[in-house]
Chain A
Amino acid sequence: MTSMELPISHRMIAPARSPLRLAVDRFLANRLAVLGLVGLSFFVIACYGSLPWTLHTFNQQNLSEALHGPSWRHWMGTDTLGRDLLSRFLLGGAISLLIGVFSAIVAVSIGLTVGMVSGYVGGRVDALLMRGVDVLYGLPYILLVILLRVALVGRISHFFTGIGLPQSQGLAGIVVLLVGIGGVSWLTMARVIRSQTMSLVNQPYVEAARATGAGPSRILLRHILPNLIGSVAVYAALTVPNAILAESFLSFLGLGVQPPVPTWGNLAAAGVEAINPIHTQWWLITWPCAGLTLALLCLNFLGDALRDALDVRTR
């Protein structure tokens, strides 16, 4: 052993704090973030906690009670077929959030893989993948989703019927929608991840890993991926509201989830249809729109707060 006398103290007082721990602290110090988190938790608990009730009441018709306003019996009122709107609102929220989250997972998986491969391998692979992204950018996403629907809904619903799932048509619509929305939402992600990967590859610590003889998979998974987590988390959090919005928009147009399965988008569409000059059934359109707005607001607060908390520059 060398007889060095290094004057720097090596026993530090504070416990080890990981970069993640620091980010969580910063996140929790942000009021809007906490507000967003609380609001979103409220929606999640309400929508998913009520599933046992909503799943068998959302399609119960009672024509004698059609188009009643909010009352103690029906908190949000009833629709044109006398179905309880609260039940449909909660189930619709559950489906919209589910589609949002799963579309984001699909988008992040594709975007992350394409971006990392493109940025790490570079050269022709990179050029090919990025030109593909450019082409997809040029196509209207609604067109892609419609094409996917036409191509897939029949088969998937047939498959679901085959394995004995109820509501196979509605479920197939949901699956196609989340794959479709996810499949068109990864483009920006791929570009962002690609450019970040390219700059990370040139970091000395990645060179040091290569100098020790680490292979590409180790470098990508241990050195590059953990340093991308910040952007991935932020982008995922901002993709969820976009996907919910896309789902609602498509359902509103009648291209998304088909009634009687409710989502906030097709509930709003039904509300718009019910508007007429004689009666104003305001509750039909107000509740789904309010739910959508509040959920999107909470998600955007979360995304912004995540970006601030995980931003490398503030570290």
Chain B
Amino acid sequence: MELNTLPEQRLGKEPAQTPLLEVRDLSVAFPIRSGLLQTVTGRIAAVNHISLRINPGETLGLVGESGCGKTTAGRAILRLIPHGIAEISGQVLFESTDIYAVHAARLRAMRRHIQVIFQDPVGSLNPRMTVGAMIGEPLLVHRLVPKADIPARVVELLQKVGFTGDVMNRYPHEFSGGQRQRIGIARALALNPRLIVCDEPVSALDVSIQAQVLNLLSDLQSEMGLSYLFIAHNLAVVEHFSDRIAVMYLGRIVETAEARTLTRDPKHPYTQALLSAVPKPEVNRTDHRIVLQGEVPSPANPPSGCPFHPRCPIATERCKREMPPMEIKGGDPAHYAACWETS
């Protein structure tokens, strides 16, 4: 399939930098089993041939509505989807090594460089472990520092996320949502990772706490040279936080561009609709909101042609038949969208 190859490769152009993470043609499908013999009767294509790149020090925002597959994509990039549950194809290259091609021991060593922050501040911390034990665990697993030095390192990590060291003997239930999220961040930082997959890290928090956590993340980025894959459904948050943004719809990436370009001049009708839904603090707001009709189609039975066509305000007959490829839009070599009707 032509659209599965990376844009750079199609254009025969070498990427300027070796990317830290390169996702090539990643697909995740969950088989639907039914009946007594548990035969596979269908497949939910949660992630469909997506390709992404994250350069060192860069933040890539991945946005889309609930159920579009962005969390599944994040889990697949971390190789966290248990064996046998899903059919996964494609490549996830971390510093040019495919994490799906390595053996268990190598994978465990590679995990050091790719960490994760979860959406749910309650579920992401083990209620029976102290904060110190939780943050120290990655160090223990990878034997990066001598056992005796772990507490000192934990204190250092706690200070990095704005706590004093004396919280290390406390249990998660003693903390608020924002504090727990910062503990989760400290755990993710313990191994000095290169890349952190942030799976909706602020969507469960109050707006005031959201800003605090986002500021913390961006301070840590400049301090430690981190790269982020920032998964969110709130375009307003992603817009401020990301260098580049990829928009997902029904398991596919429909548009990707520099954050500014994407928000100022969206090319895909879905991105346009998403952007029009972002509240703006203006009294005399003149731009009209694009209200999408209908529901998100089921990923078990996706529409023919362009997956967005049943809800698209500008869809034509061609959109119903043929899948649009990712193409350069607006003459910007960093701006790609999959739409027949826009240029």
Contact = CB atoms under 8 A, between A and B. Distances in A.
A119 B18 CA distance: 42
Contacts of A203: 123
A8 B127 CA distance: 21
A227 B119 CA distance: 21
Contacts of A213: 107-109, 111-112, 138, 141-142
A4 B216 contact: yes
B129 A204 contact: no
Given A12-B174, A315-B173, A227 B126 contact: yes
Given A210-B80, A212-B191, A16 B176 contact: no
A227 B127 contact: yes
Contacts of B216: 2, 4, 6
A123 B116 CA distance: 26
B169 A16 contact: yes
Interface stretch (B44-52, B146-154, B160-168, B288-296): B160-168
Contacts of B179: 8
A203 B169 CA distance: 22
B141 A205 contact: no
A12 B171 CA distance: 12
A18 B126 CA distance: 12
Nearest to A14: B174
Contacts of A10: 162-164, 166-167
A122 B112 CA distance: 27
A11 B163 CA distance: 9
A20 B190 CA distance: 27
Interface string B119-148: 110011111111000100110011000000
Contacts of B114: 211
A208 B164 contact: no
Interface of A: 1-2, 4, 6, 8, 10-12, 16-19, 122-123, 203-205, 207-215, 218, 222-223, 226-227, 229, 315
Given A10-B163, A212-B141, 13 more contacts: A2-B216, A2-B219, A4-B216, A8-B178, A10-B164, A11-B164, A204-B118, A212-B137, A212-B187, A213-B138, A218-B141, A226-B126, A226-B129
